[in-house]
Each structure stands twice: as structure tokens, then as C-alpha cells.
Amino acid sequence: MSEPSPAAAAGDRPHVLYVAWGFPPSRGAGMYRALATANAFAAEGWEVTVLTATRDTFERLTGSDPAAEAAVDPAVRVERIPFDPDRGEEDLARWSRSRVLSPLLWNYLRWLRSSAAFPEGGYGHWRAPLIKAAERIHADRPVDLVVGSANPNVDFTPGEHLHRTHGVPYVMDYRDGWSLDVYTGERAVSRRSRAGRIESRMLESAVEAWFVNEPIRAWHAREHPELEGRLHVVSNGWDPKFLRLRPRERLGSDDGLTFAYLGTIYGPMPLREALEGWRLARSRSELIARSRLVFRGRLGHFAEPDAHAAALLEQYHDDGVAYLGPVSKTEVASVYDEVDALLLIVSRSPFVTSGKVFEYAATGLPIAAVHHPETAATSVLDGRPGWFPVADLTAEQVAEAIQRTGEHAATMTGAELEAARAWAAPLARDEQLLPRIRALRALVGGAR
């Protein structure tokens, strides 16, 4: 363990450098964890510097949510550095001659250069600018702790660098696995590969590593048994700042119910199975036949919508299904206030929780859990009032869960809604973050 830095020894506020590519105004799912973590450090009395990408990066590559920036604690200082300004450039007048002559060759050579810097295609080139910025920040105001939030995994490099050169302790905050493919449970990279060796080296010198659920933590503990004591679960959670819900005396209306899915709509999720189950439920239940199902969220993870997902949703338009577009995190409460029941559609994997499950739980609304029982989201919702899981992802099972969810919503009282909301209070995001942040405060010098 490193000695406290000069700033820590001086008796003033400890300084944490938080490295997160997906920080507001990013519209990616990991943005909410990054935003909450930076704010939680600030609320606990830390001086916080966030190192992230420029705003135009997200506008070009993933889409942006400008309203989310308003939720950043004013005490948090945000340092933005360019991320691959050539990527996503549509103005051909700004292309180099070699790129115009052969875009494929230009992209290939660019990928090679990026991979040479760090073994993460599309992100490796960012290693040098990150380290240069971290050195500048540390020189300006000595850093006591670095927390890198993946993905991308290149976000871990400033922490490892400042530890190696200045003895600063660092934390690796995983969201998805680096070596672990969370969808298949298989190794994504070999331990003997360059990426595998770099990850092992980083884990060995990190003061802590955080994982979003116990199955992912346990997998890493099996791979690195000597590090067991430094591997911690820091779950995602729901954000009280964004989820101020109004009381309701009853759900639904004489015209039926509104079911909803809120979240990113992406490839591995069982979207077709959910829609087939919905269609079957409408054919069997007069209540569901009078109801509708709305989808709110991004179609895929990039700025360009996923055409396949859009086409699939359109196929079920005559079954009361509607896609109503993305919704800002700052507006989700108003959406939940207008719906009566939720579909939780999650990919099958014991390593996948989905950050949305915590927010769903906190709404108090009935939930049809359209995912395989082995999915890690099951352990979060088990025992919650108004939770209706499926035994398997067949249209029959999904239809039954939707019908039971609808029947529960149609008779749910305001008191039952509030009881379900109270059940989820311990799942608030700060409840997950604060124990680790306070432990790290002791690491860098205790109370000041």
C-alpha cells in the first residue's frame, strides 16, 4: 500500500482523479454510474477532477444528453480532452488525401496504430492523451487517488501510470468485463495475450477493483485468488435525484393499461420473445387487448439508430406497440408517472444485472421480468412486491407473466405502490457507493 501523497499529508481535502470516457453529456448506459460516482465523492468532501472526452465526441459517436450535465455537482471540475476527432467526420474536405484515396486502408492503419498504443481497438490511441492530462492535473494539484471507470479499459491507464511514477493508489471500476464476456461467460482475451497480461499487471498493483455484481466479482476472484481481499462489489443503483415520483391512487384507466420498456434496445436482449409474448397475451386477455406497450430508449449503442431493432418494433405496431424515442435521464420520472407496468427485458447471463433493474424496482410499478431466471437481475428483484418472473423465454411464459402483471396493476392501490417503492430504498446508488468511498478516505489519510 502506498504512503499518502503530499496533498493528503497536508491536511486538506483529498483529491480524486476520476477517469471516465462516458461522462455527461454522454448518452451511454455507463454515464449514470460515472455521474453518480463523481458526485458522491464530492458530497463526501473530496476535491474531484473528472477526466473525460469533449462534448463533440458524444455528439459524433454515441449521441448526447446535454440535460444530464446540469446534474454534475458544481464542485466537480471536469477536464475534457479530444477523443479521435477524425472519427465520425462527415466533411470530406477535412479528410486527408490518403483517407480519400482508400478509406478502408486508412481505417486499418489507424486501427493498427491505436492497438499498438493499447490493446483496445478504437480506444488505444487515447492512452497517451489521457496520461499527459493526468500528469498535468497531478502537477497542478497532487492527486491522492485515481479511479478509472471502464469501459473503455484505456480509462484504467492514468491510474496505473500515476501509481508507477508517483506512488498514487488507484481503483479499477469495472462496468463490463475486460477479460470476461458477460454475455457468454467465456474469456474474451487469453491471460497470455498482451491485453490479458496488462490487465493482470494492473489488477496486481490496484488498491481495489470494483464489480457491479457478485458473479462478476467471483469470476475475477477465481482468476486472481491472491487478490480476493481487494475485489469488491459496488452495485449499480437507482438515482433519487432523477426519480422523484408522484403518489398515485390507482394505476390504469377504463381504456386499459400502459406497459413500458425504458432503456437501450440492443442486440442480445430477447426483444422478439417479448413482443411475441405480448401478442399472445393480447389474444388471451381482454385487459391486455385494451392496453398498449411503449418503448423508450436508444436503438443501439451508437449515434446512428439500430435499423434491425426499429424494423422489429414496427412489425408489432398493429399489436399496440409503439416506439416513442429516447428519453433523457432528467425526464424518466415523468415517463414512469404516466405508465402502469414495466417489462424488464434483459439478456440471458448470470453476469448481467442491467442498471435499469434498480430504477424499475424503485418505481413501485408491477414488473414482468422478461429474462431467463439465471440472469443476475433475478437476485436484485427476488422478493419484491409486484414482480412476475418467467421460468423460460417462451411466448407462453412471457404472455402469462404479462397477464399476471396487468392484473396486478389493474387492482393495485396507492398504499401498495408506496410499499413497493419503500422496498427498493436500500437499492439507491449512494447506498452502494458510500461504504467504498469512505474506506478509500481512510486509505489516503483519514478524516481531515
- Residue 360, pLDDT score: 96
C-alpha cell recorded at residue 145: 487517488
Name the residue with cell 473530496: 46
Kindly state whether residues 182 and 305 are assigned to the same domain: no
Q: What is the pLDDT of residue 138?
A: 98
Which CATH number fits the domain that encloses residue 14?
3.40.50.2000
**Are residues 179 and 205 both part of a single domain?**
yes
Q: Considering only CA atoms, which of 69, 76, 90, 73 is closest in space to residue 26?
A: 69
What is the pTM (predicted TM-score) of this model? 0.85
**Co-location of 169 and 298 in the same domain:** no
Q: Mean of the per-residue pLDDT values for the chain?
A: 89
Report the alpha-carbon distance of residue 47 to residue 133 in Å, rounded: 17
* Enclosing H/E stretch for 323: strand 321-323
Residues 18 and 144 in one domain: yes
**Exposure string over 381-394, b if 16+ CB within 10 A, otherwise e:** beebbbbbbbeebe
Mark whether 121 and 266 lie in a shared domain. Answer: no
Residue at 251 is within a domain: no
Q: Does 49 reside within a domain? A: yes
Confidence band, pLDDT 50/70/90 cuts, at residue 99: low
CA angle 368, 374, 377 (to 5 degrees): 50
My answer on whether 142 and 268 are in the same domain is no
Tell me the three state secondary structure of residue 195.
helix
Name the residue range of residue 15's domain. 6-237+428-443
Contact between 261 and 269 under an 8 Å Cβ cutoff? The reply is no
pLDDT tops 50 at residue 10: no
Same domain for 104 and 200, yes or no, is yes
Q: For residue 244, is it within any domain?
A: no
The label of the residue with cell 497531478 reads: 138
Query: What is residue 390's DSSP assignment?
Result: -
Sign of the torsion angle spanned by Cα atoms 203, 206, 210, 214: positive
Same domain, 198 and 333: no
Contacts of 243 (CB under 8 A, 6+ apart): 332, 333, 336, 359, 362, 363
57 vs 52: which has the higher pLDDT: 52
| Nearest by Cα to 299 from 63, 23, 124 | 63
Beta bridge partners of 266: none
Cell match 386477455: residue?
Answer: 285
Q: How far apart are CA 155 and CA 16, in angstroms?
A: 14
Residue count (the chain): 448
Torsion of CA 240, 328, 435, 179, to 10 degrees: 150
Least confident range of 123-127, 198-202, 356-360, 444-448: 444-448
Based on its alpha-carbon atoms, the radius of gyration of the chain, rounded to whole angstroms, reads 23
Assess if residue 355 is contained within a domain: yes
Are residues 399 and 419 both part of a single domain? yes
Q: Are residues 409 and 436 in the same domain?
A: no
Beta carbons within 10 angstroms of residue 22's beta carbon = 25
Q: Measured between alpha carbons, how far is 144 from 13 in angstroms, rounded to an integer?
A: 10
What's the pLDDT score for residue 102? 63
**How far, in Å, are 20, 222, 288 from residue 255 at the CA level?**
45, 53, 10
Cα–Cα distances (Å) from 347 to 80, 307, 377, in that order, read 33, 19, 10
pLDDT tens for 377-413 read 999 999 999 999 999 999 999 999 999 999 999 999 9
* Co-location of 164 and 263 in the same domain: no
Residue 326 lies in a domain: yes
Q: What is the DSSP letter of 154?
A: G
User: Is residue 288 domain-shared with residue 224, that is, in the same domain?
Assistant: no
- What's the structural domain count of the chain? 2
Residue 91 lies in a domain: yes
DSSP 69: G
User: pLDDT band for position 302 (50/70/90)?
Assistant: low
Residue 325 has pLDDT above 70, yes or no: yes
The answer to whether position 274 is within a domain reads yes
Query: Is the pLDDT score of 12 beyond 50?
Result: yes
Look at residue 252 and tell me if it is in a domain: no
- 8 A C-beta contact, residue 150 and residue 186: no
